Amino acid sequence: MRSISKKCIGVLTSGGDCPGLNAVIRGVVKSSNQLGYDCVGFLQGYEGLHDPVRYKTLTPKNTTGILNQGGTILGSTNKGRFAATVGVSDRVEIDPELLAGVKTTVEQLGIEGLVCVGGDGSLAIAQQFHEYGIPVVGVPKTIDNDLSSTAFTFGFDSAIECATNALDRLHTTAASHGRIMVLEVMGRHAGWIALHAGIAGGGDVILLPEIPWTWENVCHKVLSRESQGKQFTLVVVAEGAALPDGRGVGKEQSGRQAQLGGIGQIVAEEIERRLQRETRVCVLGHLQRGGAPTTFDRVLATQYGAHAVRLIVEGKLGEMVCYQPPDIMSVPITEAVNQLRQVDPNSSAVQAARALGISFGNSTADSSPFAFRSATDHRSGQGLSRRETVETDAAFALDLVEAATEEALA
Protein backbone atom coordinates (compact mmCIF):
# COMPACT_ATOMS: atom_id res chain seq x y z
CA MET A 1 0.00 0.00 0.00
CA ARG A 2 1.18 3.53 -0.73
CA SER A 3 1.93 5.98 2.04
CA ILE A 4 -1.06 8.26 2.50
CA SER A 5 0.90 11.32 3.47
CA LYS A 6 0.03 12.92 0.12
CA LYS A 7 -3.47 13.48 -1.26
CA CYS A 8 -4.44 11.04 -3.99
CA ILE A 9 -6.83 10.54 -6.88
CA GLY A 10 -7.79 7.09 -8.22
CA VAL A 11 -8.87 6.14 -11.72
CA LEU A 12 -10.27 3.00 -13.36
CA THR A 13 -11.57 2.04 -16.80
CA SER A 14 -14.60 -0.26 -17.02
CA GLY A 15 -16.92 -1.88 -19.57
CA GLY A 16 -16.13 -2.39 -23.25
CA ASP A 17 -12.86 -0.70 -24.15
CA CYS A 18 -12.74 2.09 -26.70
CA PRO A 19 -10.25 4.52 -28.22
CA GLY A 20 -9.54 7.41 -25.87
CA LEU A 21 -9.38 5.56 -22.54
CA ASN A 22 -5.64 6.19 -22.29
CA ALA A 23 -6.15 9.83 -23.16
CA VAL A 24 -8.52 10.15 -20.16
CA ILE A 25 -6.03 8.40 -17.89
CA ARG A 26 -3.28 10.75 -19.04
CA GLY A 27 -5.57 13.75 -18.56
CA VAL A 28 -6.33 12.65 -15.00
CA VAL A 29 -2.69 11.97 -14.16
CA LYS A 30 -1.24 15.15 -15.63
CA SER A 31 -3.88 17.49 -14.26
CA SER A 32 -3.93 15.93 -10.78
CA ASN A 33 -0.13 16.05 -10.70
CA GLN A 34 -0.24 19.78 -11.42
CA LEU A 35 -2.45 20.17 -8.36
CA GLY A 36 -0.08 18.22 -6.14
CA TYR A 37 -1.98 14.92 -6.05
CA ASP A 38 -0.59 11.42 -6.35
CA CYS A 39 -2.49 9.18 -8.72
CA VAL A 40 -3.25 5.44 -8.71
CA GLY A 41 -4.91 3.39 -11.43
CA PHE A 42 -6.92 0.27 -10.50
CA LEU A 43 -6.58 -2.75 -12.77
CA GLN A 44 -9.39 -4.54 -14.64
CA GLY A 45 -12.06 -1.97 -13.87
CA TYR A 46 -13.82 -2.27 -10.53
CA GLU A 47 -12.34 -5.73 -9.99
CA GLY A 48 -8.99 -4.23 -8.93
CA LEU A 49 -10.59 -2.40 -6.02
CA HIS A 50 -10.98 -5.38 -3.71
CA ASP A 51 -9.87 -8.92 -2.99
CA PRO A 52 -7.22 -8.74 -4.28
CA VAL A 53 -6.54 -5.02 -4.54
CA ARG A 54 -4.61 -4.39 -7.76
CA TYR A 55 -3.38 -0.97 -8.75
CA LYS A 56 -0.40 0.84 -10.12
CA THR A 57 0.97 4.22 -9.25
CA LEU A 58 0.54 6.53 -12.21
CA THR A 59 2.90 9.39 -12.88
CA PRO A 60 3.34 11.83 -15.75
CA LYS A 61 6.48 9.84 -16.55
CA ASN A 62 4.94 6.37 -16.77
CA THR A 63 1.91 7.64 -18.68
CA THR A 64 3.94 9.44 -21.27
CA GLY A 65 3.20 8.48 -24.88
CA ILE A 66 -0.22 6.94 -24.23
CA LEU A 67 -2.37 9.77 -25.61
CA ASN A 68 -2.78 8.17 -29.00
CA GLN A 69 -2.77 4.54 -27.89
CA GLY A 70 -5.92 2.44 -28.23
CA GLY A 71 -7.17 0.19 -25.42
CA THR A 72 -6.38 0.96 -21.80
CA ILE A 73 -3.13 0.54 -19.87
CA LEU A 74 -5.26 -0.36 -16.83
CA GLY A 75 -7.26 -3.14 -18.48
CA SER A 76 -11.06 -3.27 -18.48
CA THR A 77 -13.86 -5.79 -18.09
CA ASN A 78 -17.56 -6.00 -18.77
CA LYS A 79 -18.23 -8.86 -16.37
CA GLY A 80 -17.40 -9.68 -12.79
CA ARG A 81 -18.60 -9.24 -9.22
CA PHE A 82 -19.97 -5.72 -9.44
CA ALA A 83 -22.96 -6.09 -11.75
CA ALA A 84 -25.34 -3.22 -10.99
CA THR A 85 -27.55 -3.84 -14.01
CA VAL A 86 -27.58 -7.13 -15.82
CA GLY A 87 -29.34 -7.97 -19.07
CA VAL A 88 -32.96 -8.62 -18.41
CA SER A 89 -33.27 -7.29 -14.90
CA ASP A 90 -33.40 -3.80 -13.55
CA ARG A 91 -31.15 -2.53 -10.77
CA VAL A 92 -29.11 -5.24 -9.10
CA GLU A 93 -27.81 -4.36 -5.64
CA ILE A 94 -24.05 -4.80 -5.31
CA ASP A 95 -23.08 -7.09 -2.42
CA PRO A 96 -22.65 -4.81 0.65
CA GLU A 97 -19.54 -6.76 1.67
CA LEU A 98 -17.94 -5.85 -1.65
CA LEU A 99 -18.92 -2.22 -1.19
CA ALA A 100 -17.41 -2.24 2.30
CA GLY A 101 -14.22 -3.77 0.89
CA VAL A 102 -13.97 -1.08 -1.78
CA LYS A 103 -14.54 1.65 0.79
CA THR A 104 -11.71 0.25 2.92
CA THR A 105 -9.37 0.18 -0.09
CA VAL A 106 -10.20 3.77 -0.98
CA GLU A 107 -9.75 4.95 2.61
CA GLN A 108 -6.50 3.04 3.14
CA LEU A 109 -5.03 4.55 -0.01
CA GLY A 110 -6.15 8.01 1.02
CA ILE A 111 -8.12 8.49 -2.17
CA GLU A 112 -10.03 11.74 -2.22
CA GLY A 113 -11.94 10.82 -5.35
CA LEU A 114 -12.13 7.88 -7.74
CA VAL A 115 -12.59 8.64 -11.45
CA CYS A 116 -14.79 5.88 -12.91
CA VAL A 117 -14.60 5.80 -16.70
CA GLY A 118 -17.44 3.74 -18.14
CA GLY A 119 -20.64 3.37 -20.13
CA ASP A 120 -24.18 3.09 -18.79
CA GLY A 121 -23.59 -0.17 -16.92
CA SER A 122 -20.28 0.85 -15.37
CA LEU A 123 -21.61 4.21 -14.27
CA ALA A 124 -24.58 2.46 -12.65
CA ILE A 125 -21.94 0.71 -10.50
CA ALA A 126 -20.35 4.10 -9.71
CA GLN A 127 -23.76 5.42 -8.70
CA GLN A 128 -24.13 2.63 -6.12
CA PHE A 129 -20.64 3.44 -4.83
CA HIS A 130 -21.71 7.06 -4.42
CA GLU A 131 -24.85 6.05 -2.52
CA TYR A 132 -22.64 3.95 -0.22
CA GLY A 133 -20.38 6.92 0.53
CA ILE A 134 -17.44 5.99 -1.72
CA PRO A 135 -16.13 9.20 -3.33
CA VAL A 136 -16.60 8.86 -7.10
CA VAL A 137 -16.95 10.97 -10.22
CA GLY A 138 -17.89 9.61 -13.65
CA VAL A 139 -16.53 9.97 -17.18
CA PRO A 140 -18.89 8.94 -20.03
CA LYS A 141 -17.31 6.34 -22.31
CA THR A 142 -18.74 4.13 -25.01
CA ILE A 143 -18.61 3.78 -28.75
CA ASP A 144 -22.42 3.45 -28.64
CA ASN A 145 -22.89 7.15 -27.65
CA ASP A 146 -26.01 6.15 -25.74
CA LEU A 147 -25.55 8.05 -22.47
CA SER A 148 -27.90 10.94 -21.90
CA SER A 149 -26.81 14.35 -20.58
CA THR A 150 -23.83 14.45 -22.90
CA ALA A 151 -23.73 15.29 -26.59
CA PHE A 152 -20.91 12.78 -27.08
CA THR A 153 -19.25 9.98 -25.20
CA PHE A 154 -15.61 9.58 -26.18
CA GLY A 155 -14.91 6.57 -28.40
CA PHE A 156 -17.92 7.24 -30.61
CA ASP A 157 -16.08 9.46 -33.06
CA SER A 158 -13.31 6.88 -33.48
CA ALA A 159 -15.91 4.14 -34.03
CA ILE A 160 -17.75 6.08 -36.75
CA GLU A 161 -14.44 6.91 -38.40
CA CYS A 162 -13.74 3.19 -38.61
CA ALA A 163 -17.25 2.33 -39.85
CA THR A 164 -17.18 5.12 -42.42
CA ASN A 165 -13.83 3.93 -43.68
CA ALA A 166 -15.29 0.42 -44.03
CA LEU A 167 -18.23 1.78 -46.02
CA ASP A 168 -15.89 3.69 -48.34
CA ARG A 169 -14.12 0.44 -49.06
CA LEU A 170 -17.32 -1.56 -49.46
CA HIS A 171 -18.61 1.10 -51.83
CA THR A 172 -15.93 0.53 -54.45
CA THR A 173 -16.14 -3.25 -54.40
CA ALA A 174 -19.97 -3.18 -54.37
CA ALA A 175 -19.99 -0.84 -57.36
CA SER A 176 -17.43 -2.91 -59.24
CA HIS A 177 -19.41 -6.12 -58.85
CA GLY A 178 -22.93 -4.70 -58.88
CA ARG A 179 -23.61 -6.28 -55.51
CA ILE A 180 -25.58 -5.50 -52.41
CA MET A 181 -23.30 -5.08 -49.41
CA VAL A 182 -24.57 -5.26 -45.84
CA LEU A 183 -22.39 -3.76 -43.13
CA GLU A 184 -23.21 -4.74 -39.53
CA VAL A 185 -21.97 -2.22 -36.99
CA MET A 186 -22.16 -2.08 -33.19
CA GLY A 187 -24.87 -0.26 -31.28
CA ARG A 188 -26.68 -2.14 -28.55
CA HIS A 189 -29.69 0.04 -27.73
CA ALA A 190 -28.95 2.97 -29.98
CA GLY A 191 -28.20 3.29 -33.68
CA TRP A 192 -25.84 6.27 -33.53
CA ILE A 193 -22.95 4.44 -35.19
CA ALA A 194 -25.15 3.12 -38.02
CA LEU A 195 -26.76 6.51 -38.54
CA HIS A 196 -23.61 8.61 -38.59
CA ALA A 197 -21.46 6.15 -40.54
CA GLY A 198 -24.37 5.49 -42.89
CA ILE A 199 -24.68 9.18 -43.70
CA ALA A 200 -20.92 9.79 -43.86
CA GLY A 201 -20.23 6.68 -45.93
CA GLY A 202 -23.04 7.04 -48.45
CA GLY A 203 -25.25 4.21 -47.16
CA ASP A 204 -28.51 3.63 -49.04
CA VAL A 205 -30.42 1.77 -46.34
CA ILE A 206 -29.84 2.30 -42.59
CA LEU A 207 -31.50 -0.04 -40.11
CA LEU A 208 -31.63 1.11 -36.49
CA PRO A 209 -32.97 -0.18 -33.17
CA GLU A 210 -35.13 2.95 -33.00
CA ILE A 211 -37.00 2.61 -36.31
CA PRO A 212 -39.05 -0.52 -37.09
CA TRP A 213 -38.53 -1.63 -40.69
CA THR A 214 -39.84 -4.17 -43.19
CA TRP A 215 -38.23 -6.51 -45.71
CA GLU A 216 -40.46 -5.08 -48.41
CA ASN A 217 -39.17 -1.56 -47.89
CA VAL A 218 -35.55 -2.63 -47.84
CA CYS A 219 -36.01 -4.55 -51.08
CA HIS A 220 -37.97 -1.70 -52.58
CA LYS A 221 -35.00 0.59 -52.07
CA VAL A 222 -32.68 -1.84 -53.86
CA LEU A 223 -35.07 -2.04 -56.81
CA SER A 224 -35.62 1.69 -56.97
CA ARG A 225 -31.87 2.21 -57.16
CA GLU A 226 -31.73 -0.30 -60.00
CA SER A 227 -34.43 1.64 -61.82
CA GLN A 228 -32.07 4.64 -61.60
CA GLY A 229 -29.30 2.58 -63.15
CA LYS A 230 -27.51 1.83 -59.88
CA GLN A 231 -26.68 -1.83 -59.68
CA PHE A 232 -25.34 -1.80 -56.15
CA THR A 233 -26.73 -0.91 -52.74
CA LEU A 234 -25.08 -0.33 -49.37
CA VAL A 235 -27.07 -1.41 -46.32
CA VAL A 236 -25.89 -0.47 -42.81
CA VAL A 237 -27.47 -2.33 -39.92
CA ALA A 238 -26.94 -1.81 -36.19
CA GLU A 239 -26.39 -5.06 -34.29
CA GLY A 240 -29.13 -3.99 -31.86
CA ALA A 241 -31.79 -3.45 -34.54
CA ALA A 242 -34.71 -5.85 -34.24
CA LEU A 243 -35.92 -7.98 -37.11
CA PRO A 244 -39.28 -6.97 -38.63
CA ASP A 245 -41.03 -9.45 -36.33
CA GLY A 246 -39.52 -7.71 -33.31
CA ARG A 247 -36.87 -10.24 -32.43
CA GLY A 248 -33.29 -9.32 -31.64
CA VAL A 249 -30.31 -11.29 -32.87
CA GLY A 250 -27.61 -12.49 -30.53
CA LYS A 251 -26.97 -15.03 -27.86
CA GLU A 252 -27.77 -15.09 -24.19
CA GLN A 253 -24.87 -15.11 -21.73
CA SER A 254 -25.35 -16.12 -18.14
CA GLY A 255 -24.99 -13.33 -15.58
CA ARG A 256 -24.27 -10.62 -18.14
CA GLN A 257 -25.86 -8.83 -21.04
CA ALA A 258 -26.64 -10.76 -24.24
CA GLN A 259 -23.92 -10.88 -26.88
CA LEU A 260 -25.41 -9.21 -29.93
CA GLY A 261 -24.48 -9.94 -33.51
CA GLY A 262 -25.67 -11.84 -36.56
CA ILE A 263 -28.39 -9.58 -37.91
CA GLY A 264 -26.21 -8.58 -40.89
CA GLN A 265 -26.07 -12.16 -42.10
CA ILE A 266 -29.83 -12.54 -41.80
CA VAL A 267 -30.45 -9.30 -43.66
CA ALA A 268 -28.05 -10.27 -46.45
CA GLU A 269 -29.51 -13.75 -46.87
CA GLU A 270 -33.08 -12.49 -46.90
CA ILE A 271 -32.39 -9.77 -49.48
CA GLU A 272 -30.66 -12.35 -51.67
CA ARG A 273 -33.55 -14.80 -51.26
CA ARG A 274 -36.19 -12.22 -52.09
CA LEU A 275 -34.46 -10.42 -54.94
CA GLN A 276 -32.11 -13.08 -56.35
CA ARG A 277 -29.32 -10.49 -56.23
CA GLU A 278 -25.84 -11.29 -55.06
CA THR A 279 -25.57 -9.96 -51.50
CA ARG A 280 -22.59 -10.06 -49.14
CA VAL A 281 -22.16 -9.21 -45.49
CA CYS A 282 -19.32 -7.61 -43.57
CA VAL A 283 -19.37 -7.61 -39.76
CA LEU A 284 -17.15 -4.81 -38.49
CA GLY A 285 -17.15 -6.03 -34.88
CA HIS A 286 -14.30 -5.08 -32.58
CA LEU A 287 -12.38 -3.18 -35.25
CA GLN A 288 -14.68 -0.35 -34.17
CA ARG A 289 -13.32 -0.47 -30.63
CA GLY A 290 -9.63 -0.85 -31.38
CA GLY A 291 -6.82 1.40 -32.52
CA ALA A 292 -5.90 5.02 -32.02
CA PRO A 293 -8.50 7.64 -31.06
CA THR A 294 -9.42 10.33 -33.56
CA THR A 295 -8.38 13.92 -32.93
CA PHE A 296 -11.89 14.70 -31.68
CA ASP A 297 -11.80 11.83 -29.19
CA ARG A 298 -8.32 12.80 -27.97
CA VAL A 299 -9.49 16.33 -27.24
CA LEU A 300 -12.75 15.20 -25.66
CA ALA A 301 -11.12 12.48 -23.55
CA THR A 302 -8.37 14.82 -22.38
CA GLN A 303 -10.93 17.41 -21.34
CA TYR A 304 -13.00 14.77 -19.55
CA GLY A 305 -9.91 13.64 -17.59
CA ALA A 306 -8.95 17.14 -16.52
CA HIS A 307 -12.51 18.15 -15.63
CA ALA A 308 -13.09 14.94 -13.66
CA VAL A 309 -10.16 15.96 -11.46
CA ARG A 310 -11.67 19.44 -11.15
CA LEU A 311 -14.95 17.91 -9.94
CA ILE A 312 -13.09 16.02 -7.21
CA VAL A 313 -11.19 19.12 -6.14
CA GLU A 314 -14.45 21.08 -6.02
CA GLY A 315 -16.10 18.32 -3.96
CA LYS A 316 -18.67 17.55 -6.67
CA LEU A 317 -18.75 13.84 -5.89
CA GLY A 318 -21.42 11.68 -7.54
CA GLU A 319 -21.28 13.86 -10.65
CA MET A 320 -20.34 12.88 -14.22
CA VAL A 321 -18.53 15.17 -16.61
CA CYS A 322 -20.47 15.78 -19.80
CA TYR A 323 -20.08 17.65 -23.04
CA GLN A 324 -22.76 20.22 -23.69
CA PRO A 325 -21.15 22.10 -26.55
CA PRO A 326 -19.18 24.22 -26.29
CA ASP A 327 -18.66 23.47 -22.60
CA ILE A 328 -17.67 20.55 -20.42
CA MET A 329 -20.23 20.56 -17.61
CA SER A 330 -21.33 17.99 -15.04
CA VAL A 331 -24.58 16.24 -14.07
CA PRO A 332 -25.45 13.76 -11.33
CA ILE A 333 -24.36 10.28 -12.47
CA THR A 334 -27.85 9.00 -11.77
CA GLU A 335 -29.28 11.41 -14.35
CA ALA A 336 -26.99 10.04 -17.05
CA VAL A 337 -27.65 6.36 -16.39
CA ASN A 338 -31.41 6.42 -15.81
CA GLN A 339 -32.20 7.48 -19.34
CA LEU A 340 -30.51 6.12 -22.42
CA ARG A 341 -30.01 8.46 -25.35
CA GLN A 342 -31.39 6.98 -28.53
CA VAL A 343 -31.67 8.28 -32.06
CA ASP A 344 -34.79 10.37 -32.44
CA PRO A 345 -36.54 9.15 -35.62
CA ASN A 346 -37.50 12.75 -36.36
CA SER A 347 -34.12 14.31 -35.63
CA SER A 348 -32.43 16.65 -38.09
CA ALA A 349 -29.91 13.98 -39.07
CA VAL A 350 -32.61 11.41 -39.88
CA GLN A 351 -34.63 14.02 -41.76
CA ALA A 352 -31.61 15.06 -43.79
CA ALA A 353 -30.85 11.43 -44.60
CA ARG A 354 -34.41 10.88 -45.79
CA ALA A 355 -34.23 14.05 -47.86
CA LEU A 356 -31.31 12.49 -49.70
CA GLY A 357 -33.31 9.33 -50.33
CA ILE A 358 -31.69 7.15 -47.68
CA SER A 359 -34.17 4.50 -46.59
CA PHE A 360 -34.70 3.52 -42.97
CA GLY A 361 -36.82 0.59 -44.12
CA ASN A 362 -40.13 2.13 -43.08
CA SER A 363 -42.18 3.31 -45.99
CA THR A 364 -44.52 5.85 -44.43
CA ALA A 365 -41.83 8.26 -43.50
CA ASP A 366 -39.68 7.33 -46.49
CA SER A 367 -42.41 8.35 -48.88
CA SER A 368 -42.50 11.90 -47.53
CA PRO A 369 -38.87 12.80 -47.09
CA PHE A 370 -39.48 16.53 -47.02
CA ALA A 371 -42.12 16.43 -44.33
CA PHE A 372 -39.69 18.07 -41.92
CA ARG A 373 -40.87 18.88 -38.46
CA SER A 374 -39.42 21.67 -36.43
CA ALA A 375 -36.78 20.66 -33.93
CA THR A 376 -39.04 21.36 -30.98
CA ASP A 377 -41.87 19.15 -32.27
CA HIS A 378 -40.21 15.89 -31.51
CA ARG A 379 -37.99 16.35 -28.49
CA SER A 380 -40.45 15.00 -25.93
CA GLY A 381 -40.28 11.45 -27.23
CA GLN A 382 -36.51 11.25 -27.04
CA GLY A 383 -34.73 8.58 -25.07
CA LEU A 384 -35.69 5.34 -23.47
CA SER A 385 -35.97 5.07 -19.73
CA ARG A 386 -33.85 2.47 -18.01
CA ARG A 387 -36.99 0.43 -17.30
CA GLU A 388 -38.15 0.53 -20.93
CA THR A 389 -34.69 -0.50 -22.03
CA VAL A 390 -34.72 -3.37 -19.63
CA GLU A 391 -38.03 -4.47 -21.07
CA THR A 392 -36.44 -4.38 -24.51
CA ASP A 393 -33.64 -6.51 -23.16
CA ALA A 394 -36.18 -8.90 -21.72
CA ALA A 395 -37.80 -9.26 -25.12
CA PHE A 396 -34.39 -9.95 -26.57
CA ALA A 397 -33.64 -12.59 -24.03
CA LEU A 398 -36.97 -14.33 -24.45
CA ASP A 399 -36.76 -14.73 -28.18
CA LEU A 400 -33.11 -15.20 -28.63
CA VAL A 401 -32.24 -16.03 -31.96
CA GLU A 402 -30.98 -19.40 -32.68
CA ALA A 403 -34.54 -20.08 -33.70
CA ALA A 404 -35.01 -16.66 -35.25
CA THR A 405 -32.15 -17.10 -37.63
CA GLU A 406 -33.91 -19.97 -39.30
CA GLU A 407 -37.44 -18.68 -38.92
CA ALA A 408 -36.68 -15.26 -40.32
CA LEU A 409 -35.43 -16.90 -43.46
CA ALA A 410 -38.33 -19.30 -43.80
Ligand X SMILES: O=P(O)(O)OC[C@H]1O[C@](O)(CO)[C@@H](O)[C@@H]1O
Q: Which of 17, 38, 144, 146 is catalytic?
A: 144
Count of helix runs (H) and strand runs (E) in the chain: 13, 15
Residue placing its CB nearer to ligand ATP in the complex, 128 or 359? 128
Taking each helix axis from N to C terminus, what angle separates 192-200 and 156-177, rounded to the nearest 10 degrees? 50
Q: Which residues pair with 236 in a beta bridge?
A: 183, 206
Residue from 30, 50, 188, 277 that binds ligand X (CB under 6 A)?
A: 188
260 interacts with, out of ligand ATP, ligand X, Mg ion, none, CB within 5 to 8 A per kind: ligand X
286 is in an annotated binding site: yes
Q: Which residues pair with 13 in a beta bridge?
A: 117
45 interacts with, out of ligand X, ligand ATP, Mg ion, none, CB within 5 to 8 A per kind: ligand ATP
Residue from 31, 33, 142, 338 that binds ligand ATP (CB under 6 A)?
A: 142
Number of chain positions touching ligand ATP (CB under 6 A): 24
Distance CA(359)–CA(367), nearest Å, equals 9
The pairing of beta strand 111-118 with beta strand 136-140: parallel
Q: How many residues does the chain have?
A: 410
Q: Are 122 and 320 in contact (CB under 8 A)?
A: no
Residue from 6, 81, 177, 273 that binds ligand ATP (CB under 6 A)?
A: 81
34 is in an annotated binding site: no
142 is in an annotated binding site: yes
Stretch that binds ligand X, among 106-114, 183-191, 274-282, 297-305 (CB under 6 A): 183-191
CA angle at 260 for the pair 93 and 160, rounded to the nearest 5°: 105
Residue placing its CB nearer to Mg ion in the complex, 82 or 232? 82
Amino acid identity for residue 105 in this structure = T
Q: How far is the CB of 242 from ligand ATP (least distance, A)?
A: 16
Q: How far is the CB of 261 from ligand ATP (least distance, A)?
A: 12
Name the residues that contact Mg ion, by CB under 5 A.
Answer: 119-121
83 interacts with, out of ligand ATP, Mg ion, ligand X, none, CB within 5 to 8 A per kind: ligand ATP
Distance CA(207)–CA(240), nearest Å, equals 9
Residue 281, H or E segment = strand 279-283
Using rule CB under 6 A, residue 45 touches ligand ATP: yes
75 is in an annotated binding site: no
Residue placing its CB nearer to ligand X in the complex, 34 or 259? 259
Q: How far is the CB of 146 from ligand ATP (least distance, A)?
A: 7
Stretch that binds ligand X, among 82-90, 102-110, 182-190, 276-284 (CB under 6 A): 182-190
Using rule CB under 6 A, residue 260 touches ligand X: yes
Closest C-alpha among 351, 380, 375 to residue 365: 351
Closest C-alpha among 251, 194, 221, 179 to residue 363: 221
341 is in an annotated binding site: no
Using rule CB under 6 A, residue 80 touches ligand ATP: yes
Q: How far is the CB of 54 from ligand ATP (least distance, A)?
A: 12
Number of chain positions touching ligand X (CB under 6 A): 13
To the query of whether residue 144 is one of the catalytic residues in this protein, the response is yes
Residue from 23, 28, 67, 83 that binds ligand ATP (CB under 6 A)?
A: 83
Restricted to residues 273-292, the positions that interact with ligand X (CB under 6 A) are 289
Residue from 11, 29, 40, 120 that binds ligand ATP (CB under 6 A)?
A: 120
Distance CA(149)–CA(335), nearest Å, equals 7
From its phi and psi, is residue 21 left (phi > 0), alpha (psi between -120 and 50) or beta?
alpha
Under DSSP, the state recorded for 45 is G
Peptide bond into 52 cis (omega under 30): yes
Using rule CB under 6 A, residue 144 touches ligand X: yes
Distance CA(115)–CA(135), nearest Å, equals 9
Closest C-alpha among 54, 45, 21 to residue 139: 21
* Count of beta carbons in the 10 Å neighbourhood of residue 3: 9
Using rule CB under 6 A, residue 234 touches ligand X: no
Restricted to residues 169-228, the positions that interact with ligand ATP (CB under 6 A) are 188
Using rule CB under 6 A, residue 15 touches ligand ATP: yes
Q: Which residues are annotated as a binding site for substrate?
A: 142-144, 179, 186-188, 239, 280, 286-289
Q: Which residues are annotated as a binding site for ATP?
A: 16, 79-80, 119-122
> Which residues of this protein are in contact with ligand ATP, per CB under 6 A?
14-16, 45-47, 77-85, 118-122, 142, 144, 188, 257
Q: Which residues are annotated as a binding site for Mg(2+)?
A: 120
Catalytic residues: 144
